[in-house]
Structure 1
Amino acid sequence: MPRSVRSRPAGRLLYAQSGGVTAVINATAAGVIETARAAGVPVYAARNGILGVLREELIDTGKEAKSAIAALRHTPGGAFGSCRYKLKSLEENRAEYERLIEVLRAHDIRWFLYNGGNDSADTALKISQLSKAMGYDVRCIGVPKTVDNDLAVTDCCPGFGSVAKYTAVAVREASLDVASMADTSTKVFILEVMGRHAGWIAAAAGLAGEGADAPPHVILFPERVFDEDAFLARVQATVDRVGWCTVVASEGIRDAEGRFLAEGGTRDAFGHSQLGGVAAVLAAKVKDRLKLKVHWALPDYLQRSARHLASKTDVAHAYAVGRAAVDYALAGMHAVMPVIVRTSDSPYRWKIEPAPLAKIANREKKMPNAFIGRDGFSITAAARRYLAPLIRGEDAPPYGKDGLPAYVTLKNVAVKPKLPPFGR
């Protein structure tokens, strides 16, 4: 995106990462820092997301070498630390929001970029509103990130393409293993994937093969009520026809009463039920009722940390939204998010445009009905057209002499606090 040459603006930019990290969130951080540096703007980062702002635990990225920042583009995890911490409403806890503004003011922060999902977009929006009320001019920009691909407005979310690629590859490779052993061993393989309310990752598994006999043979979406009898009948029919069956299940599938099959009784920092274990539940049903040998896998964090298998398209998206976020902030935009706009499926073309945070915060984009097959267990041609470009291309990290990826660990030099500690 072209930028006009400008003199160095006064003030600093603060960048923070939020929620579950992705394989490419640091590529966004690289886009932010490199673009700000080119404009002569110093960048601080918050240690562990919004908590770092509340605690006044800030990091001076100016202490990092140019090569270290460039290496963020191929390094997974969250380089500055992230957190799952949901701010209450302004009415419930105004003190937290006022503290945020106090910290921003104390360190001459004039631009705040919050890199996260729905809750983070809401936080950035609220800070933008309160900053005006408190008379402190800080430009707040939300930066998209989520493996779940459930942010509104944007065509897709940075982080999703790489998880989608990892999932499709895992399904194809594991299915080749199952097929080779099915005659005397495992008949059913079940892979559990992330996705509480939206089945985008489960749908991406459908890219592993095409046709009724190609894996995955069964996809369980959270957008569809789980029907145990129909599921088991589909598995048995597939085994009878193909000789084996691969199942991909979203962690968020529910029964007719609305209960998560994998709900463990605990909740995370956002109040969401802690999920994980649906594959084991399904495996037990297959074993008990169909008497078939089953193996299952729960990749969990492996899905979102697999930078070695990142999608080149996803990396490009992630860097581009970071770069655009800085451009928007320095241009004086406020309470917006750089979103991905698809202009063509084939050939795949896209661009970045600003969208109001008010249209994104606390909204959730689920799988369209047109993306789920009539049988309820597969994806449609429309889904393939949407998903396929997002996993294309390889962007492998450099490898060291030890045969492992050469990832970077930043120094993360702390900024000296200027305010009293904040107690909650």
Structure 2
Amino acid sequence: MPSQPGRLLYAQSGGVTAVINATAAGVIEAARAKGVQVYAARNGILGALREDLIDTSRESKAAIAALRHTPGGAFGSCRYKLKSLEANRAEYERLIEVLRAHDIRWFLYNGGNDSADTALKISQLGKAMGYDIRCIGVPKTVDNDLAVTDCCPGFGSVAKYTAVSVLEASLDVASMADTSTKVFILEVMGRHAGWIAAAAGLAGDGPDAPPHVILFPENAFDEGAFLAKVKATVERVGWCTVVASEGVRDAAGHFLAEGGTRDAFGHAQLGGAAAVLAQLVKDRLDYKVHWALPDYLQRSARHLASATDVLQAYAVGRAAVEFALAGMNAVMPVIVRTSESPYRWKIEPAELRKIANREKKLPKGFIRRDGFGITAAARRYLSPLVRGEAPPPYGKDGLPAYASLRNMAVARRLPAFP
């Protein structure tokens, strides 16, 4: 039985990462050490609205510890954006009703910009409705685009996966270029911010090292300059590796990969920039081209996670609990870089109002003057984030031994929510 009155509710939001469950482990283990019972919302904020809650106290110590090396979202996540308080006050009032019904005094929302905004609004509504609830936003995003924090848990592992994939695929292309593929194009995530594309630059250093061309969403796509760069590289090196962000746009601001559909946040559904570029290279330069769209593989590759990223993901989870129990409200535990060499960092609280709905793009100083690569400053920033290995344990079948939770439901106390 909990030794402290009140419960803590934890929820995961948006696209998951290879290390988001490490954050969950940090939350649950820190709360257990303080005698606080933790509920998890099944499938993110929707679970809270539906009063579909999971009692994590029914999970063993070993199962929770195993979350540190398990990808995916252990309790489910969702892409669901709450409207403004004015547009849909009923949803926010329902959330307060659910929190009140289960004596939840601390709400930790693990997500990105939209999630930080939601946590901020719930903290404000709690005050307005006379319910004492402490809301903490917990950072998570592969895009590394959250304001204030030096980096985002989840990004370091995607960065490592991307750099390693570019390095390995380039060795393959180089070995076959004489009689086969001349150009390989890898499309990476990144709608508006080119952090993941930039991370690909860690695969090599120098004009002849891959990736030879990086296309950032911060720069308008110049077809002529792109084709000239690819052609010159093939003629000089014999082959060319291209990394393109899914958010690459033309001069008019149109996504190269936009298909017309949109997700729950209103974002255009992307994926296909590499195919467009491959066809362009084939038609205009007559080179044999291969392209790849790793998609979910980027954010689920726990087997190749960065040890730095795992440590930071766990640390923000523990810090979120400490901040909540200390009485803080409407804050987020952020990562502060205290030393470049040797790399050192710490966790500090930052106000959600300074983070919510803001987007941190790749600094201009991180993009090479020709627009197709990263600078030394970018390399200094990125390199520590991909350092270290934290492989999962493997079973006799040769596959990772990931966590398997019971996820037992808490009895409902309220009518169903429409």
- Range into which the TM-score falls when normalised by the shorter chain: over 0.9
Superposed, which structure 2 residues align to 1:62-211 within 5 Å? 62-211=57-206
Output the CA distance in 2 between the equivalents of 1:295 and 1:253. Answer: 19
| 1:47-88 deviation line (CA, Å, top 9, x unaligned) | 000000000000000000000000000000000000000000
Q: What is the deviation of 1:345?
A: 1.1
Output the CA distance in 2 between the equivalents of 1:377 and 1:321. Answer: 34
Match of 2:91, SS? helix
Superposed, which structure 2 residues align to 1:159-308 within 5 Å? 159-308=154-303
Output the CA distance in 2 between the equivalents of 1:79 and 1:368. Answer: 34
Name the counterpart of 1:318.
Answer: 313
Name the counterpart of 2:43.
Answer: 48
Name the counterpart of 1:4.
Answer: none
| 1:191-239 deviation line (CA, Å, top 9, x unaligned) | 0000000000000000000000000000000000000010000000000
| 1:35-57 deviation line (CA, Å, top 9, x unaligned) | 00000000000000000000000
Match of 2:186, SS? strand
Name the counterpart of 2:26.
Answer: 31
Q: What is the deviation of 1:8?
A: 3.8
| 1:170-193 deviation line (CA, Å, top 9, x unaligned) | 000000000000000000000000
Consecutive unaligned residues in structure 2, runs of 5 or more: none
Output the CA distance in 2 between the equivalents of 1:214 and 1:200. Answer: 19
Consecutive unaligned residues in structure 1, runs of 5 or more: 1-6
Match of 2:384, SS? helix
Q: What is the deviation of 1:395?
A: 0.1
Output the CA distance in 2 between the equivalents of 1:345 and 1:212. Answer: 26
Name the counterpart of 2:409.
Answer: 414
1:382 counterpart letter in structure 2:
A
2:331 counterpart letter in structure 1:
V
Output the CA distance in 2 between the equivalents of 1:10 and 1:151. Answer: 33
2:168 counterpart letter in structure 1:
E
Q: What is the deviation of 1:409?
A: 1.5
Name the counterpart of 1:327.
Answer: 322
Match of 1:248, SS? strand
| 1:322-347 deviation line (CA, Å, top 9, x unaligned) | 00000000000000000000011111
Name the counterpart of 1:341.
Answer: 336
Q: Following superposition, which runs of at least 4 residues in structure 1 exceed 6 angstroms of deviation?
A: none
| 1:311-364 deviation line (CA, Å, top 9, x unaligned) | 000000000000000000000000000000001111100000000000000000
2:263 counterpart letter in structure 1:
D
Match of 2:312, SS? helix
Superposed, which structure 2 residues align to 1:1-40 within 5 Å? 8-40=3-35
Output the CA distance in 2 between the equivalents of 1:259 and 1:40. Answer: 52
Output the CA distance in 2 between the equivalents of 1:71 and 1:238. Answer: 46
% identical equivalent positions: 85
TM-score normalised by structure 1 residue count: 0.98
Output the CA distance in 2 between the equivalents of 1:325 and 1:252. Answer: 32
| 1:12-37 deviation line (CA, Å, top 9, x unaligned) | 00000000000000000000000000
Q: What is the deviation of 1:10?
A: 1.1
Match of 1:165, SS? helix
Q: What is the deviation of 1:130?
A: 0.1
- Are residue 362 (structure 1) and residue 354 (structure 2) matched? no
Q: Once superposed, what is the RMSD of the aligned Cα atoms?
A: 0.6
Output the CA distance in 2 between the equivalents of 1:44 and 1:88. Answer: 24
Match of 2:130, SS? coil
Q: What is the deviation of 1:162?
A: 0.1
2:198 counterpart letter in structure 1:
A
Output the CA distance in 2 between the equivalents of 1:93 and 1:133. Answer: 15
Output the CA distance in 1 between the equivalents of 2:4 and 2:125. Answer: 23
Output the CA distance in 1 between the equivalents of 2:40 and 2:93. Answer: 19
Output the CA distance in 1 between the equivalents of 2:230 and 2:22. Answer: 40
Output the CA distance in 2 between the equivalents of 1:349 and 1:36. Answer: 26
- Are residue 388 (structure 1) and residue 390 (structure 2) matched? no
Match of 1:43, SS? strand
